[in-house]
Amino acid sequence: MPNTHFQFKQFRIDQAKSGMKVTTDGCLFGAWVSDQMKNSQVRQVLDIGTGTGLLTLMLAQNTTALFTAVEYHSLAFEEAILNISQSPWNERITVHHCPIQDFQSDTAFDLIICNPPFFHQNKKGEQGHRNTAIHSDSLSIPDLVLSISRLLEETGVAYVMYPPHEMHLFEAEAQKMGIYPSAALHVRDNPEGAELRKMVGFSREMKPVAEEHLCIKNASGAYSSEFVHLLKDYYLHLD
């Protein structure tokens, strides 16, 4: 049975209700985007499909920006409210209960982050809340691209994580809307493993992509130094 909570150094994620639990790749995604933000003046951040609130809280830990988190699944929304309300940064975070397709804002966001569902037309299990979290029926690639295009500030950056195949599809769809890759992190579990996830920052400017590669574990099976560098501010017992 998955743990009902995950304790970080500065906040806690309760996750008994949410379909998508805290995962290593999700934490790595939040840490990488937070690291990308260090030299930027981000003021307004949008978290699409916030789930438990994990990514919002990871980014809020290292910036003074204001955050808007959107989640339409009722149980995940309740958990996001709980986790954010108990965090040190709750006064800077607003959570909305609606699909991103219906979300309206007078504010354009200079940073958008999304760890979207990616399984498509796969056989679904009995846990409906987990199906919603991991299957793209609730947020298709075209819908996500349209939402980013609609809500991203002209000079802003949107960060998205997918498996390699789905990221290829997303990049093709994004380019149709004039949104192009600007930075990418290719993630493997170990040096001999296949690429598991691709994390990409997108902007409206076409420019060379800053490509990085990271293995979660080294050849001996321990966390790699690159992984430790990104996660040491978050994980307990990791320095």
- Tell me if 87 sits within 8 A of 11, measured CB to CB: yes
Residue 104 to residues 30, 50, 150, 151, 188, Cα–Cα distance (Å): 24, 16, 9, 9, 36
164-176 helix and 141-151 helix, angle to the nearest 10 degrees: 50
Strand partners, 212: 185
Q: Is residue 118 predicted with pLDDT exceeding 50? A: yes
Residue 94 near residue 69, CB atoms below 8 Å: yes
CB-based contact 29:57 (threshold 8 Å): no
Handedness of CA 214, 216, 220, 226 (dihedral sign): positive
Residue 121 has pLDDT above 60, yes or no: no
Is residue 1's pLDDT more than 60? no
pLDDT higher than 70, residue 127: no
Encode pLDDT of 48-97 as tens digits: 999 999 999 999 999 999 999 999 999 999 999 999 999 999 999 999 99
**What's residue 88's pLDDT?**
97
Instruction: Give the list of residues 6+ apart from residue 40 with CB closer than 8 angstroms, or none.
Output: 111, 157
* For residue 2, pLDDT beyond 60: no
The pLDDT value recorded for residue 239 is 85
Asked if pLDDT for residue 6 goes beyond 60, the answer is yes
CATH class given for the domain over 12-231: alpha beta
pLDDT reported for residue 40: 85
- What are 46's strand-pairing partners? 68, 112
Q: What pLDDT, on the 0 to 100 scale, is given for residue 128?
A: 44
The β-bridge relationship of strands 12-14 and 5-7 is antiparallel
Q: Locate 152 and state its tokens.
A: 């991203």
DSSP letter (8 states) at residue 1: -
What confidence score (pLDDT) does residue 124 get?
A: 44
Q: In 3D, which of 12, 101, 98 has the Cα closest to residue 52? A: 12
Mean pLDDT confidence for 15-36: 94
The mean predicted confidence, pLDDT, of the chain is 92
Q: What is the pLDDT of residues 197-216, one digit of tens each?
A: 999 999 999 999 999 999 99
The tens digit of pLDDT for each residue in 178-192 reads 999 999 999 999 999
Distance (Å, rounded) from C-alpha 191 to C-alpha 219?
Answer: 6
Cα separation, 113 vs 21, whole angstroms: 17
Domain ranges, ordered by start, for the chain: 12-231
Q: 207: number of CA atoms within 13 Å, CB side?
A: 11
| Confidence at residue 202, expressed as pLDDT on a 0 to 100 scale | 98
